[in-house]
Amino acid sequence: MKILKTYLEEAIALVRSPRRTFTEMTSDYRYRISIQRAFFFILLSFLFSELFSVKSALLFFFLGGSVIDFLFRSLLPSILWTIFYSSIYTILLLASGTGVLYLIAKYSRGLLDHLRITTYVSRLSFLTTLLAILNATFASGWFGVLLIILFFSYSAYLIMNALYYGLKCERKYAILGSLIIAVLSAVLFNFNGERISGEFSRPTQPKLLTPEEEREKTQQAKEIIEKLERERREKGLEK
């Protein structure tokens, strides 16, 4: 718990004063520390998204509002998969983030210390948790889109501080590089869920379904209801 508390304190210090933090920040003693830090925040992101997802809310409702049933039949079985996916995303984040920052530092005459760069990427990994919170809390609407845009803008600001004050890159390359990273991250995020473009391309009228599509949707709904009823009978929840 002490280590987890340290990670949270590091994130808070970075938010309060990114310039001072990156100026005074030293490299982690080993790569293992950077990996653990990034894994912690990415795992926290997955757990938060899973716990507050619409699917979890529906399961909680159909399980009769039982916290015990929800934990043992819904949340806990997915923890192993969550740990697996968190490990994969940790590797991808550190590998891609370190590679991109290294290239920017290389072409802007900055510091080329792999361990230092990996440390910076892992210290910025708390942004994944913040994004998960924003995406789950403000699921739709223009206000949610505005918050997401502000999030990526702030992410660009933090990355710029890491490049300029931490890796000693030239200012113009630090600004340009941070903007490119933030824009590409926003594009990937939007491509994954059409979170931003969906608000701009939202139709004024609901899309009409064909008779075949209506029958298919109705059949799917019936199958879901029948499955839930069977589960309720098995658990003795049916009166």
Predicted local confidence at residue 199, as pLDDT: 42
For CA atoms 110, 131, 90, 30, give the dihedral sign: positive
Instruction: Count the neighbouring beta carbons within 10 Å of the beta carbon of residue 180.
Output: 14
d(CA 16, CA 35): 23
d(CA 239, CA 234): 12
DSSP state of 195: T
Contact present, 105 and 112 (Cβ < 8 Å): yes
> For 117, what's the count of Cα atoms within 13 Å in the CB-facing half-sphere?
23
Contact present, 94 and 40 (Cβ < 8 Å): no
Predicted local confidence at residue 178, as pLDDT: 95
d(CA 82, CA 120): 24
Predicted local confidence at residue 200, as pLDDT: 42
Structure token pair of residue 194: 């059409």
Structure token pair of residue 206: 């609901």
Q: What is the pTM of this model?
A: 0.72
Question: Which pLDDT tens digits describe the chain residue by residue (239 residues)?
Answer: 777 788 889 999 999 999 999 988 888 878 999 999 999 999 988 877 766 554 555 555 555 555 565 565 566 667 778 888 899 999 999 999 999 999 999 999 899 999 999 999 999 999 999 988 888 776 566 777 888 889 999 999 999 999 999 999 999 999 999 999 999 998 888 766 544 444 444 444 445 566 677 777 777 877 787 777 777 777 664 44
d(CA 59, CA 79): 16
